Amino acid sequence: MYEVRVEAEFEAGHSRGADGEVQPLHHHAWRVAARACSHDLDHIGLVIDFRVLRRAVDEVIGVLDQRVLEDVDGFDEAGPTAPAVAAWIFERLEERLRTVTGGENGTEPDSMHAFWLAAVEVEADPGTRFEYRPA
């Protein structure tokens, strides 16, 4: 199996803890890594063009950048914990990548090559990471 990984960062604040308790508003410099996999490579030797994957990651996390996470749809009821943020990013990134097929991503002439989003990892505090991947 082949894998490509891209990394990105965003800054966002929150005021709710893991147990729902209200804390003073504070921010984190979030680090994000997204991994896409395939069983083979396309006709030019790629899983997916890393620039296409990076652009999709940047678009998804752009919704979170410089925001209070409780103000973003999807975090209004559940606290914006690292696991919740990883799952939120994964779901939106997977949806965005479903539209990348065939020649659209510049890496293949047809839709014979299959790739999938394997995991999203987030780090809210240095050295503490959480990875989300579907079952």
Q: The domain spanning residue 56 has which CATH number?
A: 3.30.479.10
Domain span holding position 88: 2-132
Q: How many domains does the chain have?
A: 1
pLDDT score of 22: 82
pLDDT band, residue 78 (cuts 50/70/90)? confident
pLDDT score of 42: 83
pLDDT digits (tens, 9 = 90+) for 1-29: 999 999 999 999 998 776 777 888 889 99
pTM of the model as a whole:
0.89
Which three-class secondary structure string do you get for the chain? CEEEEEEEEEEEEEEECCCCCEEEEEEEEEEEEEEEEECCCCCCCCCCCHHHHHHHHHHHHHCCCCEEHHHCCCCCCCCCCHHHHHHHHHHHHHHHHCCCCHHHHCCCCCCCCCCEEEEEEEEEECCEEEEECCC
